[in-house]
Amino acid sequence: MAAVSDLMGSLFAKAVAGPVILEIDLDRGVLRATPENPLEAFRAINAPTLTHLTEVLREAATDDRVTGLVVHVGTCPLSAAMVDEVSAAIHAFGEQKPTVAYTESFGELTSGMFAYRLATAARTIWLQPSGTVTLGGVHIDMMLLRGGFAKLGMEPEFGQRKEYKTAAETYAAEAVSDANREMSGRLAESLVEETLAVISERRGMSVDDVRGLMDRGPISAAEAVQLGLVDSLGYRDEVYESVRASFGRDADLQYAARYTGSVLAKARARLAKRPTIAVVSVHGGIVTGRPGPRSPFGGPQAGSEVVTEHLRQARLDDDVKAVVLAVDSPGGSYIASDTIRAAVIALKNAGKPVVASMGDVAASGGYFVSMAATEIVANPSTLTGSIGVLAGKIVNQGLYDKLGLVREDVQTGRLADMFTGNRPFTEEQWRVLDTWLDEVYADFTGKAATDRGMAIDELEPLARGRVWTGADAKQRRLVDHLGGREVAVERAAALAGVDRDAVAVRPVPLLGLLQRLRPAQSSEQPGGISSGIPTGGVSGLLTDITRALGVEQSGVLTMPYALRIR
């Protein structure tokens, strides 16, 4: 079932009875998750959700009315993992129908590697005559904030388990560690290796030849044709003239997200009571309770109460035969992550398989909530793992002094001031913190080993806070399958013993606007809009500043936010 923005768009979809040429404009974006409120849905009215887009292409591939697909790659504002999923859907469609991808340029003095990787999913690639193919490679930024904090009179104090848990290093280290450099280098190389394999297979070139082209810099459009990187040159009007000449001049052009399929088939589906694969999202930083309003710099949050509520609904719904846990989260709270993991286990114990589908990132707490699933599916470019823990604080009394602010506190209890920013940790407080970090790390690694059916001696060397790509995680048994949402749905259907073509795939809960405004009657009934009271003050401002710098920490199970992949 489509998300809110997909449903809104379909209200205005033109009924097309004759032949149809489907169109995707990636410059408009693709949403990883359903918009959280009607305003966001209106803003994203032309951006389909990933689930809806892949479902549409799957259905359209067998619809005789659909004659082909044209994809405008454009600037391709998609993450590497989104490129994996969208290109897989285009490639699967292309096994049944002709497909064309076109763009103005694959990079303009910048890397267009992921955009080109997506374009190779189409049978034919067009490039604007003035454009270039710049494969470039992968660049990862590692940013350390300690020096900036020092200038503000702030002192970060963090502990981590273990050497690869570089989110703590982001705050507290004075130099990039060898472990951080090694991990980041392997992430970059893994992404490049996957790209080389995809391009070489789809364009009929050797891996060595593609790697050589990657190191050449911008390749002109004319030479790109000679090298076999693209098939034709032309501007948009020329591309569409060719598409219509090949796919049918009497065919209507329609965005894939507006495609409604066979009216008769849709009517039969509504009348039939079909088994359901439920999709439950864990999107954003994992927090306890219900997420509050976003700050100007903050991203989405996955509240443990909300996620477990949705998992409970899926467990109590007799029509739901299996669940896809769609995880796109860098982690956060240890307690919240453990709460969600327990709800996943309860679903399994109720006889309903759970397949974790990892998106752009499912690391640290994102891995914690996934690891107990019956099976785990990750994209080759997913960032996952980061089985480790960090905790600490930033001593900000120096900033208060610089600002001329008077600060005084009182307390009862010897450890009541442990996490205050007024003063550094005492030796006793460091002992308390270190003991707790050891306990959480032991719990995380022990549960991960149990969930993945591995001995702790085999699992622990893969942990230590290290981030892996999905491709590398698959080789190390941290995930079971490589693929996107459709692979996860297929595995869920297979594990539940139901026919993939006979199931409905829908998010849980599926609430209309009025239901979202209506208060729930109990904790076992979905409804109501999540709300909370935002925190403020200088500490809140500092949190917003660090988020603006690319660093966000919502809990102790957090991956290194400062990794920027380009």
Q: What is the pLDDT at residue 10?
A: 47
Confidence (pLDDT) at 532: 38
Q: pLDDT tens, 157-210? A: 888 888 988 878 888 888 999 999 999 999 999 999 999 999 999 999 999 999
pLDDT of residue 550: 46
Q: Do 4-136+217-267 and 273-565 share a fold?
A: yes
Q: Is residue 507 a contact partner of residue 2, using CB atoms and an 8 Å limit?
A: no
Please give the CATH architecture assigned to the domain spanning 273-565: Alpha-Beta Complex (3.90)
Distance CA 29, CA 75 (A): 10
Q: What's the rounded Cα separation, in Å, for the pair 468 and 494? A: 27
* Alpha carbon distances (Å) from 556 to 237, 282, 346, 551: 52, 17, 24, 14
**Residue 245 backbone dihedrals phi, psi, to 5 degrees:** -65, -35
pLDDT in tens, the chain (566 residues): 344 445 444 444 455 567 999 999 998 888 876 665 555 555 556 678 888 888 899 999 999 999 999 999 998 989 999 999 999 999 999 999 999 999 999 998 889 999 999 999 999 999 999 999 999 989 888 888 888 888 888 888 888 888 988 878 888 888 999 999 999 999 999 999 999 999 999 999 999 999 999 998 899 999 999 999 999 999 999 999 999 999 999 999 999 888 876 544 554 555 457 899 999 999 999 998 887 655 545 678 899 999 999 999 999 999 999 999 999 999 999 999 999 999 999 999 999 999 999 999 999 999 999 999 999 999 999 999 999 998 888 888 888 888 888 888 888 888 888 888 888 898 999 999 999 999 999 999 999 999 999 999 999 999 999 999 999 999 999 999 999 999 999 999 999 999 999 998 888 875 554 555 566 666 666 554 443 333 444 444 444 445 444 444 556 777 654 455 55
List, for residues 237-292, the tens digit of each pLDDT value: 999 999 999 999 999 999 988 887 654 455 455 545 789 999 999 999 999 888 76
CA distance 256 to 250: 18
| pTM summary value | 0.86
pLDDT of residue 55: 87
Q: How far apart are the first and last CA of the chain?
A: 33
CA 517 to chain centre: 28
Structure tokens at 280: 């439950």
Instruction: Say if CB 163 and CB 464 are below 8 A apart.
Output: yes
CA 504 to each of CA 92, 278, 378, 454: distance values in angstroms, whole numbers, following the listed order: 20, 8, 22, 34
132-133 and 219-220 beta bridge pairing: antiparallel
Predicted pLDDT at 143:
84
4-136+217-267 belongs to which homologous superfamily?
2-enoyl-CoA Hydratase; Chain A, domain 1 (3.90.226.10)
Domain-wise residue ranges, the chain: 4-136+217-267, 273-565
